[in-house]
Each structure stands twice: as C-alpha cells, then as structure tokens.
A and B are shown apart, each in its own frame.
Chain A
Amino acid sequence: MPADLAIAASDLVKTYPGDVRAVRGVSLAVPAGTVFGLLGPNGAGKSTTVKILTTLTKATSGTAVVAGHDVDRQPDAVRRSIGCVFQKHAVDPEATGRENLLLQGHLYGLRGGPLRARAAELLGRFGLADAAGRLVRTWSGGMQRKLDVAMGLVHRPSVLFLDEPTTGLDPEARADLWAEIGGLARDEGLTVLLTTHYLEEADRLADQLVIVDRGRVVAAGTAEQLKSELRGDALVVELGAAPAVPPDLPGAREVTLDGRTLRARVDDGARAVPAVLAGLEAAGLVPASVTVARPSLDDVYLRHTGRAFAADATPELEGAAR
C-alpha cells in the first residue's frame, strides 16, 4: 500500500447468515489527510464497510489496511490508531459529559493531568464546556453528537470514522457539525471517512467520494469530476398526471420517469425547453413545472444507480445491513 494512503481496502465482501450480502466487493483508497465520503442509500453497505474497517466485524473475504495495519491480523494496532463515531449517539446518558470523555480516555491509556487537559480542550473546542458537569441525558441531540465526536478524538487518532454523523440532527446542529468536521481535517491533518446519505453533506465536506449501491462501488472521484462526467444540464418536469411510458422528447437523453416526475439530460437547458414542451404536448402530457439545473450530485447518483436519491434517502438505519 502506498505510504500516503490512510485506508486501502481491496474487494471487501461481507455476507451475513441467511445469504444477506451486505457488501459485495468494495475497494477504497483514501489518501491521508483528506475527507472521504461514502455515499449511498439505506442498505447500500456503507455501515457494514465501516464496521469492517473499524474491526467491529470481520469481512467474509477481501483485505483492508487502516493507518498502516491490517484490520484482520493486527486489530489492536488499528484500534489504537482510529477514532469511531457510529450512527447511534454512543454516550452514557447517566454520566456527565466530562465523565464520558475521561472514561473514554482511560480506555485508550491516557491518565491524570494530560487526560484532564485533553478532555477540557475537546469540551472547549466543541462548545460543551458549560454543560460538561451535567448528566448527558439532559443534553440536546446535537450536543450529544458533538460529545460523541469528541470521544472519538480523545486519544488523537490518525483516522476518524464518522458513520452518518448528522442523521437526525436539526439543520442548525448539522451545519455546526459540518464546520467542525471540515476543520478537523484542515487543522489536524486527520483523515476522515464519512458515510452519509445527504448529498449536500458529501458535496460540501468530501474531497473525494464513492457512491455505493447494493454493496458495490458504482462511481468514484471528486464531486466535481463526477458532476462533469454528466454532459449537459438536468431537466426536471413535474407532470399533471403520471404517464404509462416515458414520452419521446427531441434533444433529451437519459429520460427517466418516476411517477409524475420526469428527468432528462439536455445539452443547453434554456434552448432545449421549447422543444421539450412541444414533445410533451405531442405526447398529450401537461407539465405542471419545468426546471433546468446544472448537474448536481443528485444527478450523479441518479445516473449511477438508476434511482432518484430523495426516494432512497430516509433518515433511518440501514435495514438490510443488519
């Protein structure tokens, strides 16, 4: 593995009893010091991939090296080098914020003055210093999530795993956490692997990303690269009624139909609209609205999975992966 890769995974497969194939051959190369996004819908295999990379579960086949150590053969070395923030807020609600951090630090071998200083530093950084002496069960969800992230950082890991860190947070808390995550990679040279089903989150935070669908990587690159692979603009038409088959529209490619929503790709959006409207009329369809947009990650997702992202993304746990 090249020295500058923080994570190198090759052909990971995970099959659960009952032939549930959560991951079907995922390979990743994450450069050190970058934020890497693992994007995909529920059940795509994102969380399972993270569980393999963090030594929580063993891959059925394939290999992975994290922070220079093999996850299967040297799990203890991997564990000391990584910080993990899973989907659930894994904080002890019956302890104070400071107690949570101190216990976490103890378990990584930190002691005494340096541990107390590190805890105070993290509480300050995440704006939790005032609440640190209160029981965590009295904290808001956003605060608990920040404590969760702080606990993942207490031992100064070199790689941080964040599994859907902002799921279930209100928009303000989400923006807040985004700012923190962006800062971590920038200021501390930390490698961050982030799973998300928020396209906006991946677009904003990830230097590089892969789209995972049904246990496989279907696209990889920077957000810009992925977007530029799409030629032309995205055209979305809301129809008055759902037609049985996609109509034939002049000048439009990759026409897909999802209920009353018609999506297509056109070379020059503004000039293509009249022809599209004429095509709709010829097919006997009445448009309720027509929008033209530059490609977004949403379009990348649609192109690679054949499904619109919004239909897949619901803020729930990955059902098929467990």
Chain B
Amino acid sequence: MSALVQSGVTAGTPTRPADERALRGVVSDPVHLAGRGVRALLRQPWFVAITLVQPVVWLLLFGALFENVVPAPNGDYIAYLTPGIVVMSALFSSGWAGMGFITDAERGVMDRLLVSPVRRGSVMTGSLLYQQVTTVVQTLVILALGFATGARFPGGVGIMLVFVASVILLAAAFASYSNALALLLRSQESLIGAVNFVVLPLSFLSSMLVPTGSLPGWIAAIARWNPVDWTVVIGRQTLSADVDWSVVGPRFAGLAALAVVAGALAARSFASYQRSV
C-alpha cells in the first residue's frame, strides 16, 4: 500500500517522456495488440484446426471438381489450383478482420484503446499484423499440401517469396477495407454483407480457379484490373521455371499501392467512429 500512496504524489507526470514513448510505441504497440489476438487464437485449437483444414478441403474439392473440366496449361490442375487457393484463403480470412473491431467496440475495448495514448494507426497495424500471422501460416500450409499432392514450383525461392509478399499485401488491403467498414457500420450483419459483396465477385472475376485463357472475354478484361487476379497471376509464376518478371513487377507495385491506400483510409475511419460515439 505504501507504494500506492507514493505513486499518488507523482501522479500526473507521464510514466515516460512523451516522444520516447511515441517512438517505441510505433513498433511495440502493434506487436502487443497483435499478440493479444494470436494468444486468443491459440487458445481455441478447434478454430485453428478449422482455419487450416478449410483451404485443404477447397484445394482437394475444387481440384476433384474441375480437374476434368478445366484444361490446365501443363495438365496438372492441382498444381495450377494451388496459388488460387492460397489467394482465396487469404482473401476470405482477411475479409473478416473487421469482426474483431466490432467485438471490441461492443465490449468497450475499443473505447479503452482510444482513450489511451496509443496511436490510431497502431490499432490498425496491430490488427493487420495479427491478420498476417494467420495468412502466412495458412499460405505455407496450402503450399506444403500442394507440394505433397504433386505440385512443383520450379520458379524458385525468389518468386515464392514475392508471391507470399503479394498475398500479404492483398490480405492487408482487404483487412483494412474490412476494418474500415467495421468502424463505419458497427454491425456484424452489415459487415458480412459488405464483405461478401466485394470478395465473392472479385474472386470469380479472376483466374483464381480457371486459367485466364478459358475466361469469357469480358471477365478477362475485368480481371486485368482486379487485384485478386494480380496476386493469382504472380502466384502462377511460381509454377513456371522461366519467371516473367515483367508480368510480376507492375502487379506487385499495384498491390503495394493498394495496401498503402487502404491502410491509410482505414486509419482515418477512426475519426468517423469517434464522431458517433
């Protein structure tokens, strides 16, 4: 108790100098906020299992379903499908990122964060960081499974890393979109609707499940401007021994720009949230 009494005397002075705190907080706050999500996730082994099993089911199911329908360029549809399923999983799970914000807002945890010195940007990057941990684990599991079922990636380590980075950028953009919508709509039902409204069309207006060559002309035209398709196209390059970097470069740059813009807009949606509290 005596320590508590003493603390009252110095109360009012910040625990650390403000600018030093701000500097260290930029890195450590998102890490701690993401750590909270990861810890909670690991305490739900069934949820982890479902998250990992679901893309496996997609891969095998879509593989079996389309194998005899869709002509894969090199005849191996499972291999061809693997990058598509990686992108699909990343897209769908990042689309639900905002659910965490809605739960936090309902519980009052969001208000507690907003009256703390934590920067709004750190709350956003904390959520994105947590999202990326799941995305990367999922991606690696699907790639390993693809490998186990016969897919080979002769493109090499370089293009593999670029592909994983592209998936991270795409997931960051969609998680930002989801978080921003969560702060604006603040209802799980509305968020589900708004996310599906974007994620499903973008998935099917791309070469995620079928080769670009077999897409109808108008879909192929739209797919050229679809960031989901950019990521899938980069992923397909891992299957080719002769990586065409002129295909990869502009698409990767586009994904990076999209992630930055979406993240910045999402951080600004806190202002809208606070206006309505």
A interface list, Cβ under 8 A from B: 16-17, 51, 54-58, 67-68, 76-77, 79-82, 84, 86-95, 99, 103-104, 106-110, 121, 125, 135, 151, 155-158, 187-190, 322
Contact = CB atoms under 8 A, between A and B. Distances in A.
A56 B274 contact: yes
Contacts, number: 122
Interface in B40-59: 40, 43
Contact of A109 (B4, B7, B117): B117
Given A92-B109, A94-B43, A106 B29 contact: yes
Contact of A90 (B16, B109, B118): B109
B43 A109 contact: no
B117 A188 contact: no
B40 A157 contact: no
Q: Is the interface of B mostly helix, strand, loop or mixed?
A: helix
B277 A108 contact: no
Given A106-B32, A189-B9, A56 B115 contact: yes
Given A76-B117, A135-B43, 9 more contacts: A77-B18, A80-B15, A86-B111, A86-B112, A94-B40, A107-B32, A110-B15, A188-B4, A188-B8
A35 to B, nearest CB: 14
A92 B104 CA distance: 8
B47 to A, nearest CB: 11
B19 to A, nearest CB: 11
B8 A68 contact: no
B214 interface: no
B108 A107 contact: no
Interface residues of B, number: 42
Contact of B15 (A55, A88, A156): A156
A16 B276 CA distance: 7
Contact of A187 (B8, B21, B117): B8
23 contacts: A54-B115, A56-B111, A56-B115, A56-B277, A57-B274, A58-B274, A87-B108, A88-B111, A91-B107, A94-B39, A94-B40, A95-B36, A95-B39, A103-B33, A107-B113, A108-B116, A109-B21, A109-B24, A157-B11, A158-B11, A158-B12, A187-B4, A188-B5
Contact of B115 (A77, A82, A106): A82
